[in-house]
Structure 1
Amino acid sequence: MGRLIVVSNRVATPTETKGSAGGLAVGVFGALKDAGGVWFGWSGDVVSETVANAGPALEQDGAVTFATVGLTRKDYDQYYRGFSNATLWPVFHYRNDLARYEREEYAGYRRVNAWLAHKLIKLLEPDDVIWIHDYHLIPFAEALRSEGVTNRIGFFLHIPFPAPQILLNIPPHEELVKSLSCYDLLGFQTATDQQAFHDYVTRHARGTVSNGNQVEAFGRKLRTGVYRIGVFPDEIADQAKRYESRQHVLDLKQSLEGRKLIMSVDRLDYSKGLVERFRSFELLLERSPEWRGNVTLVQIAPPTRSDVATYQKIRQDLEYEAGRINGRYSGLDYTPIRYLNQQYDRWKLMSLFRESQIGFVTPLHDGMNLVAKEYVAAQNPDDPGVLVLSIFAGAAAELSGALLVNPHDAIGMSEALQQALQMPLAERQRRHEINMAALRKNDLGVWRDSFLRDLRSVPLRNTGEGGGHK
C-alpha cells in the first residue's frame, strides 16, 4: 500500500492534530499515521516572494511529514480572499447576492493551484495516493495531470455543491467542472450534493452518469460517492464528562442560577443563520413570557475572514441584534443572549454542550455541520439535551432524533425551542439514543476509510508499471 498524500488549503500543525483540531484534521491525521505520508498545503502565513518560492517547510512527526508553503500578498488576495471566499463560498452556499466575480482573481486562483501542485510533485512517489480537500483546490488535479502525474487522485468537497442553476452564476462554471473531472473519485457530503453534480454533467457538460456513480464528462471517466463526515462520538462523550467539573463549567452554572441553557457555536459566517437564530429566540421570549428570565442563549461565534467585507457586516448585524434583544428583555440580574466573539478550546466547548438543555444549530446551508454531531455526542445519556437542527445542514439526513426546523421560519424555530424546553426526559433519552446510533454507524473513521478504500480501488489512468508520475 502506497503512502497517503493529503492536500488541504491549511495544514494543521502536529500540535493541533493532537489538541483542539476539528474533524478534518483528526480524520486525515489518523489515516496519515496508519499509511505514512505527507500533509501538504498553505502554512497560513503571508510571506515575501523570496520565501514563497523556497521549498516547502518540512516537519516530521513519526511517519507523517507536514509540508507547508507561504503565500504572497497577491496570491492570498486573489486565490484565498478573492475567488475562493468571495466567489465560490457564497455561490456554493446559495448566496449569489453576496458573490463577486473578477477575472483577475479567478486567474490567480488557477495560478496558485498550479504553483502548489508543482511544489507537491517534488515530494511524490510513484505509488502514492493523493487526497485533495475542498473548494480552494478544485483545479489541483488538473494541474498535476498537466505535469504528467498519473497517481490516483481523489477530491472531497466539505461544503455543499450547488444546483446547476446556482452554479451557472459563476462565469467559468464549465472550467471548474472540467477541472473536477480530472479526479478519479469525487466525494460529497450528501446525496443531494452528488445529484447536483450529476445534473450539471448531464444538462450542461454533455456528459453521462451510469450505474449510479460512474461519470463520463469532457472525455474523462470518474466515480462519485457520498461520504458523510462524522466524529468519534464515544471519545467526545468521554471528553465532555471528564471536563464537566472544571472551573469554567462551574462558573457558567453558577451564573445561570438555575436557568435553562441554549448553546450555539459557529464560525462568524453569513451561511450559519445567526441573525435568524437570534430573532427566533426573541420570538420565544415575546410569545412565551414565562421564559423571560428563565432561559439564556449562549452564542459563541469566533471571527473568521475578518478582512472580507461581508464578514465585517455579519459581525455588525449580529452585535446590533444581540444588543437590541438584550436591551428589550434584560433585567438587573438577567441577560438573555450572551454573545461571545472569540475562540474556545474544543474540550471546553464539549463540556459546555453537556451542561446545556438545547443545542441550537440552524445554518441556512451547510455541507455537514459537525457541531450538531458534537453536541449530540457530548450529552449526558441519563439527562440529554435536545438538538434543534436546520433542515439545510447535511447532518439533518442522519440525525432523525433532532427537532428539524426551517431557518427561514422564525416562528417555527421559536416553537421548536419551546418544545425542546418542555420535552419529557423519556422522549429526550429516546431521541438521544437514535442520534447516537447514527453517529456510531457513520463515525469519522468510516468516512475516512470508506473514501480511501474506494479511491484505492479505482483503476490507474495509465497502465504502465505501477502508474505513478512521470
Structure 2
Amino acid sequence: MACARNDAERALIEERGTTWQAPLIRGETRLHYATPTPEQYEQYYSVISNPVLWFVQHYLWDLAHQPVINGRIHRAWKNGYLEVNKQVARKVVEVARGLPGRPLVMVHDYQLYLVPKLVREQLHGAIIQHFVHIPWPTPQYWKVLPREMRDAILFGLLGSDIVGFQTSLDVRNFLMTCEENAGLAVDEREKAVLVDGRVVYARAYPISIDVAGTTRLSYSHGVMVEERKLRDWRPQHLIVRIDRTDPSKNIIRGFLAYEKLLAHHPELKGRVQFWAFLQPSRQDVAVYRNYVRKVRQTVLRINAQYGAQGWQPIRLELGESVRKAMAAMRNFDALVVNSVYDG
C-alpha cells in the first residue's frame, strides 16, 4: 500500500489504475495506491509529518519560541494528515475484505499514526502491527502538541496489536506516554497497555543492515573505482561524515568541533581534511532548505578562515552515490556521527 506523492506517480496511476503489479528485486508484488490531491499530500507530508512530527520526535523544537500551532497547522492536520490517513485506511480495508483469511496489516512510521485505529474500527478481526522507525520522546515533550492531536496519535497507534520501536528506551517512553498523558493502565513487566478491553504490546525490534549485501557492495568493482578516485586526493588524515541534510543529523556542530580542532592544532594545516558527503533531503520543506543554506555558509566560513593555497579544510559534496559512500567508509581515519537524538 502506497501514497501517490508527486505528478509522476499520479501520471502512472492515471495510466495503470490504482492497483497493479510492481517489480521487486526478486519477483513482484501487488501494489495498491491511495490518491490524495497534491494539496492534501502537501499538508500531510510537508506541514505535519515534516517538520511538526519529525521535530517533536527528535527534540528539535526551540521550545521557548516553537512550535507555533496556528490555524495553518490545524488546517493541515484536518485537511492533510487526518484525510490522508483516512484514505490509506479505506484502501487497506478495501483490499483486506477481498482476502480469503484473517488480514495481517503492517503499518509503518510517523506518517500513518492514525491508520491502525481507523482500520480496527472496520476490520475487528485484523492483526495489526505498527512499526515506528524514529525515536519516541517523553510524555512531557509530546505536550507541545494540542491534546486533540497527541491523543489522536496515541489512540491511533493503540489500534494495533503490537507497536514496534527501535530501542527499549522508545518502548519505555511510549508506555509512560500511555500512562501519563492518556491515563491508561500499563503493565511495565509485560510491556503492555490495556485499552478498550484489549491488550496492546510494545516491543523493541532494532533494525539491522543487510550484512551480506553490504559486504558484497564493499568489495564491488564500483566501490573500488571510487576508492581509486579517493586516493588521488586523500589527505594524510581523513575525517568523514555521510548524512542526509536533516537538522536532526547535527551537521553544523560537527563542523564547529572540527573548527576547534584546527584552531588548537595548527600543525594539522594541510594534513587533514573533513569530507562531508551529504544527501539533500526534503528540499520541498522550507526548514530543510534553510538548513542546507546554513551548512554551506558554515563550510565557506571555515574554509575561508583556515584554508590555504591548494588546501581546503572541508570538502563538501552534495549528492547520492552508495558506491562513493562505501568507499569513504572503507578509508576514513575518523567517522563523525553526532546526530541530535538517534543515529
Fold in common (TM above 0.5): yes
Which residue is 1:92 aligned to? Answer: 57
State the distance in 2 between where 1:244 and 1:51 align: 37
Q: How does 1:405-416 map to 2 (within 5 A)?
A: none
Which residue is 2:303 aligned to? Answer: 326
State the distance in 1 between where 2:29 and 2:68 align: 38
Which residue is 1:348 aligned to? Answer: 324
- Is 2:218 the counterpart of 1:240? yes
Greater RCO (Cα-Cα under 8 Å, separation 6 or more): 1
- Out of 111, 119, 122, the residue aligned to residue 83 of structure 2 is 111
Which residue is 1:190 aligned to? Answer: 167
Which residue is 1:228 aligned to? Answer: 206
TM-score by length of 1: 0.65
- Is 2:237 the counterpart of 1:260? yes
- Is 2:126 the counterpart of 1:151? yes
Which residue is 2:273 aligned to? Answer: 296
TM-score by length of 2: 0.88
- Out of 116, 132, 141, the residue aligned to residue 141 of structure 1 is 116
Deviation at 1:68, TM superposition (A): 3.5
Instruction: Give the secondary structure class of the aligned counterpart of 1:155.
Output: strand
Instruction: Give the secondary structure class of the aligned counterpart of 2:95.
Output: coil
State the distance in 1 between where 2:102 and 2:289 align: 45
State the distance in 2 between where 1:197 and 1:190 align: 11
Instruction: Give the secondary structure class of the aligned counterpart of 2:312.
Output: coil
Cα-to-partner distance string for 1:153-179 (whole Å, 9 max, x where unaligned)? 101111110101100111121221111
Q: How does 1:119-134 map to 2 (within 5 A)?
A: 119-124=91-96, 125=99, 126-134=101-109
Structure 2 letter corresponding to 1:303: P
State the distance in 1 between where 2:224 and 2:23 align: 34
CA 1:69–1:174 in structure 2 vs 1: closer, same or farther (change >3 Å)?
closer
- Out of 32, 38, 46, the residue aligned to residue 67 of structure 1 is 32
State the distance in 2 between where 1:186 and 1:259 align: 48
Deviation at 1:218, TM superposition (A): 5.0
The answer to whether the 8 A contact 1:91-1:99 is kept is: no
CA 1:254–1:45 in structure 2 vs 1: closer, same or farther (change >3 Å)?
same
Which residue is 2:19 aligned to? Answer: 56
CA 1:71–1:302 in structure 2 vs 1: closer, same or farther (change >3 Å)?
farther
State the distance in 2 between where 1:138 and 1:240 align: 36
Deviation at 1:133, TM superposition (A): 0.8
Moved more, 57-66 or 265-274: 57-66
- Out of 185, 190, 194, the residue aligned to residue 216 of structure 1 is 194
Cα-to-partner distance string for 1:386-439 (whole Å, 9 max, x where unaligned)? xxxxxxxxxxxxxxxxxxxxxxxxxxxxxxxxxxxxxxxxxxxxxxxxxxxxxx
State the distance in 1 between where 2:20 and 2:301 align: 48
State the aligned residue count. 325
The answer to whether the 8 A contact 1:156-1:187 is kept is: yes
State the distance in 2 between where 1:68 and 1:355 align: 42
- Is 2:5 the counterpart of 1:44? yes
State the distance in 1 between where 2:23 and 2:247 align: 37
Which residue is 2:283 aligned to? Answer: 306
Deviation at 1:195, TM superposition (A): 0.8
Q: How does 1:369-388 map to 2 (within 5 A)?
A: 369=343
Deviation at 1:138, TM superposition (A): 0.4
Runs of at least 5 residues in structure 2 that lack an aligned partner in the other structure: none
Which residue is 2:150 aligned to? Answer: 173
Which residue is 1:12 aligned to? Answer: none
The answer to whether the 8 A contact 1:268-1:315 is kept is: yes
- Out of 264, 276, 279, the residue aligned to residue 287 of structure 1 is 264
